[in-house]
Structure 1
Amino acid sequence: MGTSVNSTNTALVATRLGMALFATGFNAWGQLSLDRDPGHGEPDDLFSFAKVLEAQSIERPVAGLSYTLVRRDGVVCMAGVGLGHADDREAAYTFAEAANGEILGIQDDGTLVSGEEGGSEAQKVLAKYPCRSAVEAQNPERSWRCKSPVRTIAAFDAGFVILYQDGTVATLGDARFEDCLGRDITDDSPADEPGIVPDLANLAEPIKHVSAGGYALAALTESGGIYLWGMSPSGAQRGQQPFSTLCGVPNYVEVDDGDRDVQDVALGDSHAIALTTDGSVFVIGDNSSGQIGLGKTAREQAHPSWTKVSFDAPDGHEVVAVAAGPRSSFILTSPVQA
């Protein structure tokens, strides 16, 4: 678990053979050295996308500031530091952890409900924990029954965004960061309970994916449109937010002057990566640690507009997903389907 991670059901479960994972960005703890020993001393940051893992099947990575987790061929592997036990690593795929230490995930509440095809199934609840030790003790601070199955949970610095199977989006978090919640905070819709983001619910199409990083959140529609909301980061250790129009209302964001529909998107603390439907990869934002993969010559400047990455997938492969950690980016490839 880390500063901002994708969580419940966000992993792209890959069933095709011969997949590859490429990474770029902050690597001080060897967190991008997934398939090799990082050696002694502080590993170098990666400033362009490099292959870091190959396997028959690879799921979308889950990355914190000091570690990267990937499920390959059914087994979770870790590079970096921060999660010492196998149970902790498994939990990172089913729970999301915000920078304030709070954790949100899906679990059974011990009761049975009628299933869609008859029979019974376990009642699912959203469970929030104050810290990792509470997760280990199975002692949630609060829980809410899920009116619709949950597809994805992602964490931003002060809360969570939840995508339901019916395409609606909810948020919960800290009332002091109301813009990140994308909704008005009222007695009937408090900040610390899941509440629907109304502007996304009023779109003419459902949301298929959500991501979060720092104090920014993104929702991707079925037709390939990105909507962003949130606020600019603060503090000397944070890069400048590339999206100048961030506010409490989800706004449509064009990629490549609106000429591209988006297939996948991921947010870091102060950068973003997007996969378009034609297989191109675009990045935007801070590159001080190489997190957008544009090379060392571009490290001293922020990139306020979307830039196409010069990336060549392995022969016979295509890009199928992208992901981001706080200061890293990932590209996942798979063999082209005949």
Structure 2
Amino acid sequence: MQLDHKADLVALAGNDKIVSYENGTLKQYDSMQAYLSKDSVEIGACKDVISLVANQTSFTALTSNGEVWTWGDARYEACLGREVCDESPPAKPHLVEDLLDLPSGPIVKISSGGYATAAVTEAHDLYVWGGRTGQSKLVEGLSGQPIPIDLDGRDFLDVAVGNDHMVALTTDHELFVVGAGGNGQLGTYLDKLEDWKEVKLNLGHGRRMTGIYAGYKTTFVLVEGPGPDDNT
């Protein structure tokens, strides 16, 4: 089926809701059918959105100046990472004020999955927030307020959040994983990790990890360097 949507960015949540960013406006669709038929509701204007992600119940937008905006299902308030009140209702995009004026600079990368969201700052700090009542915490201390992740003072280059696992890449190109691993998404033989663990991959001489991505129960690693048959 051919689509003639001209959205700059599109994100699909686990509850089947879709949000698109078009010409400075965020539009929300209740289902894929609504998206295909262009049956949307404008949920707010947001200037210069450069990244739009979703998890099971919420959406997160990142602007070019490092602001983080969230909205979603009121029943999962922790996934929003901000206070919910009459002035900042859950269903409308509002700033995550705890991520403003951070000592390590503005947010430059966001990732979301399951019931958690993560963000990396300009100076390579990592923050996470989220959680669901009755579900074990993906990382220690996970809550509705963004918390920093400290792995012995390491700086972070990238982060990716799957349905129930999270991976982080340091500026020294080390890969750390946490969460569920029953489908091999942690790169180990372990079914679950409650604490962060480094995973060492045999990439070959001169190669290193430069980016990561997490799917529902998968992990992808971007590697740069000479190919296996390159002897130069």
TM-score for the superposition, normalised by structure 2: 0.88
Secondary structure of 1:135's aligned partner: helix
Q: How does 1:89-128 map to 2 (within 5 A)?
A: 94-108=9-23, 124-128=24-28
Q: Stretches of 4+ moved more than 4 A in 1? A: 85-88, 90-93
Q: How does 1:169-318 map to 2 (within 5 A)?
A: 169-204=68-103, 205-232=105-132, 234=134, 240-255=136-151, 257-258=152-153, 260-295=154-189, 298-299=190-191, 302-318=192-208
Q: Flag structure 2 segments of 5+ consecutive residues without an equivalent.
A: 227-232
d(CA) in 1 for partners of 2:53, 2:197? 25
- Structure 2 counterpart of 1:94, one-letter code: L
- Structure 1 counterpart of 2:212, one-letter code: V
Q: State how many pairs are aligned.
A: 225
Q: 1:244 to 1:93 in 2, by over 3 A?
A: farther
Secondary structure of 1:248's aligned partner: coil
Q: Flag structure 1 segments of 5+ consecutive residues without an equivalent.
A: 1-84, 109-123
TM-score for the superposition, normalised by structure 1: 0.62
What is the match of residue 323 of structure 1?
A: 213
What is the match of residue 65 of structure 1?
A: none
- The answer to whether the Cα contact below 8 Å between 1:241 and 1:270 also exists between their aligned partners in 2 is no
How much has 1:231 moved relative to structure 2? 1.2
How much has 1:232 moved relative to structure 2? 3.7
Say which one has the larger Rg: 1
With CA pairs under 8 Å and 6+ residues apart, which has the higher RCO, 1 or 2? Answer: 1
- The answer to whether the Cα contact below 8 Å between 1:232 and 1:246 also exists between their aligned partners in 2 is no
Matched residues, percent identical?
35
Q: 1:331 to 1:87 in 2, by over 3 A?
A: farther
How much has 1:317 moved relative to structure 2? 3.3
Q: 1:253 to 1:91 in 2, by over 3 A?
A: farther
d(CA) in 2 for partners of 1:293, 1:215? 21
- Structure 2 counterpart of 1:265, one-letter code: V
